[in-house]
Structure 1
Amino acid sequence: MSTLQWSDDLALGVGAMDQTHIEFVDLLAEVQQAPDDTLLAKWAELIDHTQVHFDNENRWMVETRFAAGNCHTTHHKAVLDVMRDGLRYGQQGHRNIVRQMAAELTTWFPQHADSMDAALAWHLKRVGYDPVSGSIAHPELLPGELIHGCGGETCSDENVPAADTAPTPASA
């Protein structure tokens, strides 16, 4: 079984986001290492953490002019729905489904962080958004229109700088 471990490669340069991601990775490892008698409790704890994690990111998007129905927010909802389905299956005795979902999250999370979350982190840093206070240091840099895509190149070309001007997570 492959487990995900936190590394600087996953860091996006937004302290509150990175801390939440570290906690997610740690909780996911606890799920993967849990014996059958504690597996569902650990999975439920991961779901609760993920709900808060996604609620925070969704709020940051709304406060910085990502539209409420953007694909990043929609992706969060889909992942949580599947995790909750897994819990229900686990409660019916199908723990193997929970274990498989945990394994799938080790692949999903780095991809999500490197695409949708990296675009959000770039946007938050660009406008000087403080996730703790909600203050925006550069409101003049907020987009004039709501961002309806994920903020990534595949969703919303007009809302992302050219590749040669966009900071990478490592340089941001």
Structure 2
Amino acid sequence: MSDMPTPTATPGIVWNDELLTRQPQMDATHREFVEHLIQVESALGQPDAVLLPRYDALVAHTVEHFAQEDRWMAALGFATQNCHAMQHTQVLAVLQDVRRQHVEAGATDMIGRLLPELMQWFENHAQAADAGLAGYMAEVGFDPATGEMARPPLLPEAADAAR
């Protein structure tokens, strides 16, 4: 008998409260995103008839998830090509390229290799870019349903006049 410890299973992708931004609609969308990742992860090793519909659902969700945040940023006056939106564009391009490689090039390990990297990126993105967006939304009293701001920021000219 060996004195070696019994290895434990490595947990897969799971939701954790460090992903919370305290913006309810954003947090609900983030939970859905993680659920899609879990669904794809659970289909790894299964035939494409099982895996690809789950992957496609992840991509479709991500397109709308990012578009929602991009609409909020536009309503808040963020520059169109800001860093946050550029990350969205880059991640969507990777998601689409991985699917193409999986199908066209037979790179069947690509989706499995992508998932942990995507989750790591998402954790960083949610804790930095999304948390910053959520904080700004709260600061100006932004209502995601209406696009209205209860406390719009002062324009630089108005701030100068107020001094």
If the length of structure 2 is used for normalisation, what is the TM-score? 0.82
State the structure with bigger RCO (CA 8 A, min sep 6), 1 or 2.
Answer: 1
Are 2:123 and 1:105 aligned? no
Unaligned runs of 5+ in 1: 146-172
Report what 2:149 is aligned to: 136
Q: Which residue of 2 aligns with 1:148?
A: none
List per-residue Cα deviations over 1:78-121 (Å, max 9, x = no partner).
00000000010111222210111112112111111011111111
1:67 aligns with 2:88: no
Aligned-residue offset at 1:7: 2.5
Shift of 1:8: 2.1
Identify the match of residue 117 of structure 1 among 127, 130, 134. Answer: 130
* SS of equivalent residue, structure 1 residue 95: coil
- Residue identity in the other structure for 1:36: P
**Residues 13, 38 of structure 2: 8 Å contact kept:** yes
Matched position secondary structure for 2:146: coil
Q: What's 1:85 paired with?
A: 97
CA drift at 1:142? 5.6
For each residue in 1:113-166, what CA deviation from the matched residue of structure 2 results, as whole angstroms up to 9, or x when unmatched? 011111111111101111122121111x26649xxxxxxxxxxxxxxxxxxxxx
CA contact (8 A) 1:127 1:137 kept: yes
Q: Which amino acid aligns with 2:117?
A: E
Question: In the aligned structure 1, how far is the partner of 2:143 from the partner of 2:108?
Answer: 40
2:25 matched residue in structure 1? 16
Aligned residue pairs total 144
Contiguous gaps of at least 5 residues in structure 2 = 1-9, 158-163
Bigger radius of gyration = 2
Q: Name the CA distance, whole Å, in 2 between partners of 1:80 and 1:142.
A: 34
The residue type equivalent to 2:86 in the other structure is: T
